[in-house]
Amino acid sequence: MIKVENLKKSFGLNEVLKDINVTVKPQEVVVVIGPSGSGKSTFLRCINMLESITGGHVYIEGIDLTDKKTDINKVRTEVGMVFQQFNLFPHKKVIENVMLAPMKVRKISAEEARAKGLALLRKVGLEEKAEAYPDSLSGGQKQRVAIARALAMEPNIMLFDEPTSALDPEMVGEVLEVMKQLAKEGMTMVVVTHEMGFAKEVGDRVLFMDGGLIVEENIPSELFDHPKEARTKAFLSKVL
Amino acid sequence: MDFRWDLIVEYAPFFAKGTLLTIGLSIAGIVIGTFLGLLIGLGKLMRNKLLALPFNWYINFFRGTPLMVQILLIHFAVVPPFLGTTNAIVAAIVALSLNSAAYIAEIFRAGIQSIDRGQMEAARSLGMTHVQAMKFVILPQAFKRMIPPLGNEFIVLIKDSSLAALIAAPELMYWGRAMQGQYYRAWEPYLTAAVIYLVLTLSLNFLLTRLERRMATE
Ligand SMILES: Nc1ncnc2c1ncn2[C@@H]1O[C@H](COP(=O)(O)OP(=O)(O)O)[C@@H](O)[C@H]1O
Ligand SMILES: [Mg+2]
């Protein structure tokens, strides 16, 4: 479970997140939409402290990330993240990408990590690419490996930051498929995406962000079909 | 002009010994310099500017003053209190190592900073500590990019080690000067030295090019 209270984030004088309050329940899938620069990525990155938090609190499973005593590395093992640019480790084979963190952080044996890694690659449909290097993969394949790599730490929560935005259109589907599967298995997910079909099919809730605030939130069908706020309407009319 | 091949033949054993010491000094310089350079480069990258300051000034000093001054300082001022006497070879190794460490620190810093910051973020998001992320993700990639500039530094060291002749470390250039002093001839000793330096640097260059090509296809 994620609980965000009065979250504020500034870069210098630029206040990017103004006052964010959100609770994500276990097994819930929350989709975040909003114009470029509205603070969606920053919001996501505050949830696993890739950005330092300027004000307010973020709780993961009840643990306050802003508490100095919190072991942030431990919390991060519970929160997987998938990036727009994949960020696979190019010097490591696909299977090594997936095995690295479980071996070094969870200290499990190489055999166990490999077996688990292969199972995860099978799950994302890429077992036969285990010995390939990331450079030889298509964008869609890279992103599926990145998902498998995050899942290898057995997180309770997965964060996705525009996971299909860097992909050629024909590869978007294969990545969304994997994410839908995860949602069906009950993974708690926060997904920044403009894939309305995905949001409607698996999203429990949609947050519309603009100017560092959550302007409107609702169940997907309501937010997309009957937006209440003028800013939401303006944004949706441009995107849809 | 008569060229005295016979003098070169006579001096050949000395040139051979000198060449070995030149190679030795350069290897010691690059090995120790790489080790120190990594530490200093990481030091300069520390987020706490106050802690990074000494590393920054180390680099400024050794890159901003002539190697000749450094060699003389180390030989006559720094080494004697430690050893109780001067020692040209020790001083040469210390000076070359400390000097190359400054350049190598910059090579490391540039190499580390050239790695996309998404790599560090991906590693940290998986729960790795900063040190683990450096060790398993950033440095292996950075090392690969550092090989060409490190090779360059090695070549520079081979040439710069000739300054050790000033403090009478019996390397290649020392024997060249000795030969000139003995026979009052300039072409034979210095051309011989030049050719040997050229063979050393060109062979190293050849090896590095092959290494780079192999790494590129990997
Ligand atoms: N590391 C950073 N340093 C300074 N400003 C940043 C940084 N990251 C993001 N910003 C600024 O924060 C604002 C929100 O960015 P971001 O969260 O990436 O928006 P979104 O993901 O919605 O496009 C932008 O104005 C951006 O320029
Ligand atoms: Mg973004």
Distance of CA B170 to the CA centre of its chain: 18
Number of domains chain B contains:
1
Closest CA to B158 of B15, B22, B32: B22
pLDDT in tens, A60-108: 999 999 999 999 999 999 999 999 999 999 999 999 999 999 999 999 9
Q: What is the CATH number of the domain that holds B156?
A: 1.10.3720.10
Closest CA to A126 of A104, A113, A103, A142: A142
Phi (first) and psi of residue A36, to 5 degrees: -60, 135
Given this model, what pLDDT does residue B212 score?
87
Cβ A41 under 6 angstroms from ligand 1: yes
A134 touches chain B (CB under 8 A): no
Kindly give the distance from the C-alpha atom of residue A198 to the centroid of ligand 1, in angstroms, as a whole number.
25
Rg (CA), chain B: 21
Mapping DSSP onto H, E and C, the string for A35-86 reads CCCCCHHHHHHHHCCCCCCCEEEEEECCEECCCCCCCHHHHHHCEEEECCCC
What distance in Å separates the CA atoms of residue A154 and residue A76, rounded to the nearest whole number?
11
- How does pLDDT run along chain B (218 residues), one tens digit per residue? 689 999 999 999 999 999 999 999 999 999 999 999 999 999 999 989 999 999 999 999 999 999 999 999 999 999 999 999 999 999 999 999 999 999 999 999 999 999 999 999 999 999 999 999 999 999 999 998 999 999 999 999 999 999 999 999 999 999 999 999 999 999 999 999 999 999 999 999 999 999 988 887 76
What distance in Å separates the CA atoms of residue B117 and residue B99, rounded to the nearest whole number?
30
Domain extent, residue B166, equals: 5-217
Name residues whose C-beta falls within 8 Å of residue A143's C-beta, 6 or more positions apart in sequence: A82, A86, A163, A164, A167, A171, A175
Option in A85, A91, A153 nearest B126 (CB):
A153
Per-position DSSP letters for chain B, written without gaps between them? ----HHHHHHHHHHHHHHHHHHHHHHHHHHHHHHHHHHHHHHHHT-S-HHHHHHHHHHHHHHHHS-HHHHHHHIIIIIHHHHHSS--HHHHHHHHHHHHHHHHHHHHHHHHHHTS-HHHHHHHHHTT--HHHHIIIIIHHHHHHHHHHHHHHHHHHHHHHGGGGGGGT--SHHHHHHHHHHHH--SHHHHHHHHHHHHHHHHHHHHHHHHHHHHHHH-
Pocket test for ligand 1, best of A7, A15, A40, A42 (most atoms within 8 A of CB): A42
Cβ A11 under 6 angstroms from ligand 1: yes
What distance in Å separates the CA atoms of residue B134 and residue B140, rounded to the nearest whole number?
8
State the pTM of this model. 0.88
Given this model, what pLDDT does residue B108 score?
94
| Single-letter amino acid code for the residue at B188 | E
